């Protein structure tokens, strides 16, 4: 008996079941890999290595005992190696590519799913022109069917700042009325806001993560920055109070900017926008979300 | 001008918008509250206080600027106070009750959503009869529509142990063949497994969280225990190796037990079972999941 | 051979080592247990169950192979059972009690260590008199030596709000100077602040966690509340801007309040105060900490 | 008045206090930056970008109101830029370099502290010779005093596997005795183990993170791998059962390997080794740790 025999004798995963249940998704989660990614735009960031968290799944028919999980890792391994030679063009395209390999290597599967997330850094400029380097999260996902096409999702998570429009007016009224005292017109509570945008689209549509970050970052009361010397700090705080926003406003402004930025994208593209404020006046968070299609938004 | 005037003048949330977008869910997340819960069964645990994490949401029409978030907290507050006088019967019923109040207090909303999670402790017995106290997570959720009924979800998360059936056979073959050496028949890798079961059902169906915990806990290779003196440890390890299971097997065994335990539950009840193994031989996890209806399972 | 024989034959932990290294701490982490705790003060909360996270350790001599970890769980189990009959008086005293049992049950150990953390809820009152229920974290720790006394630590973690004093002045100057424009005097950035206070003391000193929470909560720019209807929201925001504070100010104000509140506590008591602001204008946090003795603070 | 005037007038941080308390550490936490790092050894990894989490602190005298936090970010920014031109030689040396800049830019500070952590990937080889890419955490820290030298810390966190030696013997005895039944000699429980090694040393000592990873990885019952086809899986499982280890054994074996690997390092170097097992038979973890000097270990 050889090692090859052992492998085929012990293919417990491949055993037939009489009365099994099919499974929606079987795979591996929390796989960490460095992937070389090509980016348009800024020359100095044109090729970078992202430390990616990867989850991959396929479905499993009712008559098969197990999914061959090591094949998932072989696929990911190959993709990592390939990216060293030829950097991938966005982690959403990487996800789509892994998704197709999943269906090839798991011939019993009818669906493949891939989710990738990574830290991402990008240059920004403060109101007074100082260059900074800001931190973001990128998401790339794909869902592929054996009998159909692959759809992919590109996503970004951006941290910004919201100033509350309600508190601003309430304070002013309360001061006018003497319910509270002091020389504090126009003050409000403000706080860190985390906004996530995910766009699900046919595989041949290409969006640029940097554009999505721009859309989101311009929808806060103000963007935030790593370094703020005093004049810049004054500008950020003043800008935030000139643009007071609820979590609802952040979501709606991102939606509006998407419509304006992508007038020719097809109606069936799915958009998810989520804004969560780590409220400064509460121990809990405020939250708003919209999940919809571009078609619905355009009505 | 009175405080009442201020309140109505400054109702920024209530302002009309010309060209807004409706929002899928707006609300608060990460609200922590102690809720008194009544449990059937063991007399000594019949009434206990659970420290709950609560998220609540309603949708928002396109022409309204903001949702009145403080109303959400007033509803939760009321429920906490009520539970001191009259303990609630399961956090899924609490979620349904909050959900109805959401639709009452937010008259512009057409949908309400509630998600509650809490730590939970329950007595167990080791193979040799020692009493232990084990730790679980409970989930209670509700989704209510203004023009229809409320559906609710009861869920449990249980930590157990899986021993790999594939490794067990592979090691035996490899030993027989001399590919590896030593006197190690029947060994395998085993690890901590986290299994989650969520059942979504009409509001008038009553399930008992303890029954769900039982279903899940008996579907691992072995349950795990806080205290294992040596004989019990030998029994747990031996039992696990007598019942080697993939993550796929854990999910399927929970599904089978649900069918056997609840033969008369309606076909449209939705079941989600997820099993995740913190693989001892890998740095990543193995994962399996099924989302389906009881009707589909019964075919 | 009996089960008893098995137990003694297989006491692998107790084996002698020739050339071992002693270990600083060996034990278990992440043990979750419900503990009934007695509290002074408010009658309605006088006796409650806290869901505790518990870590316990002893040291290990160089000539002993292993520590008997199941004994740690037996000790914790006993404490849980006892607390049902007779609620413990503070989790710091529970920690001290567990610590002594550790040294009794592990006769080879010279040091025992216990760390307990739990969620905690307490009634509060908004500026305009509305009753709310707020969320905190409690800590209780103990360190005991075989040849000496046990010292214990009581700790609280409180979430509040800080408004930045620097931004407030910078904005005013920048407005005066026309560097930024608009009618925004007195605005600032404000944010969620998490402040932790830990006091390490001889076992016979008794401090009340509620007092520590009061000390910390009054040291923010403003406390925060679960429910704030408009007038209360105006008051909280105004109060915060009347008391702008750096993270440094929060720490120093807690230190000052400790000196004033506890004039007769011994000089050798150790105090740790930490304030971390989830900056609204940055993606990173601001942090300040002091670790010292009461004696040093009194100089 | 110019922008420069505003800056100096509004230097709130620099204000003098009459009765302040000095602070142990003031700074920023959670700063995320990409740093280019040079590594010895494998040519293909000789230069890589690590996504670093950075915390930096200085102390603050009692008479100064605040620390200038933006200076910390300017220092970090400079270091990031420099690393693009000239990759740093280890994040512990980066920490030492930031630490010196902290003391230069904060002339009131007597102590600087820096903590950096990053994900790290390295090639490995399975028992049967398959190449894999494994995931680790790297740590680099520094503590510098104005009137003295800088000490630095290099650290690694490695995930591996432990098989329990106690359960292995207990099961065999229990089987011999008939207390449990079945044909299961030599089985044990095994699980994921996370081992952390930190070495604190004078600034001029140079250690290689890859060596530390090797020391730790060889101290588990077995290393773990991303891809294990069946023969490799059999080898890993068999190897683990040939080398059963408690958490205590892992720590001691790392300590022994450090002594053998670094015979000429000075006695005053501080070593911390921590091993935590995510026990498969319990819901809690097993934990062992030693903090000591090389001198003490050599006695």
Spans in chain B with pLDDT lower than 50: 1, 43-46
The mean predicted confidence, pLDDT, of chain A is 91
Nearest residue on chain C to D26, alpha-carbon basis: C288
CA distance A216 to chain C (A): 15
Q: Are A273 and A195 in contact (CB under 8 A)?
A: yes
Q: How many Cβ pairs within 8 Å bridge chains B and C?
A: 70
Q: In the prediction, which pLDDT does A182 show? A: 80
**Which pLDDT does position A253 carry in this prediction?**
97
Query: Using CA atoms, how far apart are residues A92 and A156, in angstroms rounded to an integer?
Result: 11
Closest alpha carbon to D223 in D298, D127, D150, D287: D127
Best D10, D133, D158, D278 member to test A by mutation, with max A CBs in 10 Å, is: D133
Q: Which of A211-215, A277-281, B212-216, B235-239 has the lowest mean pLDDT?
A: B235-239
The answer to whether the CB atoms of A77 and D228 lie below 8 A apart is no
| Residues sharing a CB contact under 8 Å with residue C56, sequence separation 6 or more, in sequence order | C27, C28, C31, C72, C75, C76, C98, C102, C112, C113, C114, C115
CB-CB under 8 Å, D247 with C26: yes
Q: Do C12 and D169 touch (CB under 8 A)?
A: yes
Q: Give the 3-state secondary structure of residue D266.
A: coil
Q: Map tokens 């000052």 to a residue.
A: C256
Q: Are A76 and A53 in contact (CB under 8 A)?
A: no
Contact state of D33 with A133 under an 8 Å Cβ cutoff: yes
Q: What is the pLDDT of residue A5?
A: 57
d(CA B231, CA D179): 8
CA C56 from chain center: how many Å?
Answer: 16
What CA–CA distance (Å, rounded) separates C19 from D12?
59
Among A106-120, A249-263, C224-238, D251-265, whose mean pLDDT is lowest? Answer: C224-238
Compare CB distances from D252 to C12, C20, C73 and report the shortest one's residue: C20
Q: Measure in Å the smallest separation between the Cα of C129 and chain D Cα atoms.
A: 33
Q: Give CA–CA dist D140/D207, Å, rounded.
A: 11
Contact A77 D230 (CB under 8 A): no
pLDDT score, position C40 = 62
Distance from CA of B154 to the nearest CA of C (A): 21
**DSSP labels, B183-248:** S-TT---EEEEEEEEEEEEETT----HHHHHHHHHTTSSEE--S---HHHHHHHHHHHHHS---HH
User: What is residue A195's three-state secondary structure?
Assistant: strand
First to last CA, chain A: 68
Residue A139 to residue A115: CA distance in whole angstroms = 7
Cβ pair D149, D202 in contact under 8 A: yes
Residue B133 to residue C226, Cβ atoms within 8 A: no
Chain B residues touching A5 at Cβ < 8 A? 173, 177
**Mutation choice for C interface testing from D197, D278, D288 by most C CBs within 10 A:** D288
- List the structure tokens of C135: 């969320």
Q: Flag if C174 and A135 touch (Cβ within 8 Å).
A: no
Among D91, D195, D197, D111, CA closest to D152: D91
CB pairs under 8 A between C and D: 170
CB D64 within 8 A of CB D16: yes
Q: Would strands A150-163 and A222-223 be described as parallel, antiparallel, or unpaired?
A: antiparallel
- Report d(CA C67, CA D247) in Å as an integer: 10
Chain D residues inside the 8 Å CB shell of B189: 161, 190, 233, 236-237, 240
What pLDDT was estimated at residue A124? 94
Burial of A138 (0-12, 13-18, 19+ CB in 10 A): buried
Radius of gyration of chain B (CA): 24
**Using the beta-carbon criterion (under 8 Å), do A133 and D48 form an inter-chain contact?**
no
Q: Which of B3, C223, B25, B12 is nearest to A244 (CA)?
A: B12
Question: Partners of A133 in the beta sheet?
Answer: A123
Q: Are the beta carbons of A228 and C190 separated by less than 8 Å?
A: no
| Nearest residue, CB atoms, D171 vs list B173, B184, B234 | B234
CB–CB contact C192 A167 (8 Å) = no
Domains delineated in chain B: 19-148 (3.10.270.10), 158-299 (3.10.270.10)
Confidence at residue B16, expressed as pLDDT on a 0 to 100 scale:
78
Nearest residue to C208 via CA among C55, C91, C113: C91
Q: Compute CA distances C282 → B107, C38, C191, D31, D55, whole Å.
A: 37, 42, 11, 9, 14
Pairing of strands B47-60, B111-125: antiparallel
Q: What is the distance in angstroms between the Cα of D238 and the nearest Cα belonging to chain C?
A: 21
Residues of chain A with a CB closer than 8 angstroms to some CB in chain D: 3, 6-7, 10, 31-34, 44, 48-49, 51, 70, 73-74, 76-77, 80, 84, 119, 121, 132-133, 135, 226-231, 234
How far is CA D128 from each of CA A2, A4, D236, rounded to the nearest angstrom? 14, 14, 10
CA distance B89 to B35: 11
C-alpha distance from D133 to closest chain A C-alpha (Å) = 8
The beta-carbon neighbor of C6 closest among D20, D31, D173 is D173
CA distance A169 to A185: 9
Q: To the nearest whole angstrom, how far is the Cα of B158 from the nearest Cα of chain D?
A: 9
- Contact present, D50 and D120 (Cβ < 8 Å): yes
CA distances (Å), origin A230, targets A159, A233, A244, C248, D206: 21, 5, 21, 18, 40
Whole-angstrom distance, CA of residue C201 vs CA of residue C179: 52
Tokens encoding A233:
């700090």
C23, D289: Cβ pair inside 8 Å? yes
Q: Judge: B33–C231 Cβ closer than 8 Å, yes or no.
A: no
State the nearest Cα–Cα gap between A2 and chain B, in angstroms: 7
Contact assignment for A10 to B170 by CB distance below 8 Å: yes
Chain C: touching chains (3 or more CB pairs < 8 Å): A, B, D
Q: For chain B, first and last CA: distance in Å?
A: 68
pLDDT at A3 exceeding the cut of 80: no
Buried b (16+ CB within 10 A) or exposed e, B105-114: ebeebbbbbb
The pLDDT profile of chain C, 299 residues, written as one tens digit per residue, is: 455 555 566 678 888 777 789 999 999 999 999 998 886 655 444 467 899 999 999 999 999 999 999 999 999 999 888 888 888 889 999 999 999 999 999 999 999 999 999 999 999 999 999 999 999 999 999 999 998 899 999 999 999 999 999 888 888 888 888 888 887 778 999 999 999 999 999 999 999 999 999 999 999 999 999 999 988 999 999 999 999 999 999 999 999 999 999 999 999 999 999 999 999 999 999 999 999 999 999 98
User: Quick check: A173 and B22 CB within 8 A?
Assistant: no
Beta-carbon contacts of B204 under 8 Å, excluding residues fewer than 6 positions away, are none
A19-51: per-residue pLDDT in tens? Answer: 789 999 999 999 999 998 886 655 444 467 899
| Chain B residues lying within 8 Å of C157, measured CB to CB | none
* Cβ pair A77, D133 in contact under 8 A: yes
- All partners of chain A with 3 or more CB pairs under 8 angstroms: B, C, D
d(CA B29, CA B55): 4
How distant is the Cα of C40 from the closest Cα of chain B, in angstroms? 19
In D, what residues contact A, Cβ < 8 A?
3, 6-7, 10, 31-34, 44, 48-49, 51, 70, 73-74, 76-77, 80, 84, 119, 121, 132-133, 135, 226-231, 234
Neighbours of B20 (CB within 10 A): 19
ipTM for the predicted complex: 0.92
* Neighboring chain C residues of D286 at a CB cutoff of 8 Å: 27-28, 69
Write down the pLDDT at residue D35: 92
Q: Which two tokens stand for residue B6?
A: 């201020």
Alpha helices, DSSP H only, in D52-132? Answer: 69-85, 91-105
- pLDDT at res. A8: 62
Q: What is the pLDDT of residue B9?
A: 61
| Residue C62: Cβ within 10 Å count | 13
pLDDT of residue A49: 86
List the single best residue of B283, B284, B285, B286 to mutate versus D (max D Cβ within 10 A): B283
Q: pLDDT truncated to tens, each residue of chain D (299 aa)?
A: 455 555 566 678 888 777 789 999 999 999 999 998 886 655 444 457 899 999 999 999 999 999 999 999 999 999 888 887 888 889 999 999 999 999 999 999 999 999 999 999 999 999 999 999 999 999 999 999 998 899 999 999 999 999 999 888 888 888 888 888 877 778 999 999 999 999 999 999 999 999 999 999 999 999 999 999 988 999 999 999 999 999 999 999 999 999 999 999 999 999 999 999 999 999 999 999 999 999 999 98
Q: Which of D134, D161, D186 sits opposite B184 (nearest CB)?
A: D186
Give the pairing type, strands B285-293 and A23-38.
Answer: antiparallel
Q: Do C69 and D286 touch (CB under 8 A)?
A: yes
Q: Which residues lie below 8 Å from residue C141, measured CB to CB, with a gap of 6+?
A: C92, C95, C113, C114, C115, C116, C152, C153, C155, C198, C200
Write out the DSSP string of chain C: --HHHHHHHT-GGG-B-SS---EEEEEEEEEEEEEEEE-SS-GGGSEEEEEEEEEEEEEE-TTB----HHHHHHHHHHHHHHHHHS-BS-HHHHHHHHHHHHHHH-TT-SEEEEEEEEEEEEEEE-TT--EEEEEEEEEEEEEEETTS-EEEEEEEEEEEEEE-HHHHHHHHHHHHHTSS-SS-TT---EEEEEEEEEEEEETT----HHHHHHHHHTTSSEE--S---HHHHHHHHHHHHHS---HHHHHHHHHHHHHHH-TTS-TT-EEEEEEEE--SSSSSEEEEEEEEEHHHHH-
């Amino acid at each position: 008996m050889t090692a090859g025999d052992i492998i085929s004798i012990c293919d417990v995963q491949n055993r037939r079941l009489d009365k099994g249940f099919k499974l929606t998704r079987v795979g591996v989660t929390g796989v960490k890999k460095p992937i070389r990614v090509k980016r348009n735009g800024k020359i100095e960031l044109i090729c970078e290595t992202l430390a990616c968290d990867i989850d991959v799944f396929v479905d499993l028919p009712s008559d098969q005992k197990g999914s061959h999980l090591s094949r998932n890792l072989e696929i990911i391994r190959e993709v990592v190696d390939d990216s060293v030679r030829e950097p991938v063009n966005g982690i959403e395209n990487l996800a789509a590519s892994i998704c197709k390999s999943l269906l090839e290597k798991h011939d019993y599967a009818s669906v493949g799913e891939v989710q990738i997330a990574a830290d991402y850094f990008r240059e920004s400029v403060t109101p007074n022109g100082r260059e900074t380097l800001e931190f973001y999260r990128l998401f790339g996902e794909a869902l592929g069917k054996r009998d159909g096409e692959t759809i992919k999702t590109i996503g970004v998570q951006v941290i910004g700042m919201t100033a509350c429009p309600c508190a601003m007016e309430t304070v002013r009224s309360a001061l006018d009325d003497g319910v509270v005292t002091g020389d504090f017109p126009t003050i409000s509570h403000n706080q860190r806001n985390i906004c996530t945008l995910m766009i699900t689209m046919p595989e041949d549509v290409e969006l640029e993560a940097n554009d999505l970050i721009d859309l989101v970052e311009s929808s806060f009361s103000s963007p935030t920055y790593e370094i703020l010397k005093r004049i810049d700090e004054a500008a950020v705080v003043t800008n935030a109070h000139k643009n007071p926003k609820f979590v609802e406003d952040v979501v709606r402004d991102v939606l509006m900017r998407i419509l304006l930025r992508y007038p020719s994208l097809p109606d069936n593209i799915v958009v998810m926008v989520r804004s969560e404020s780590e409220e400064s006046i509460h121990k809990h968070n405020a939250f708003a979300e919209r999940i919809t299609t571009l078609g619905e938004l355009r009505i």
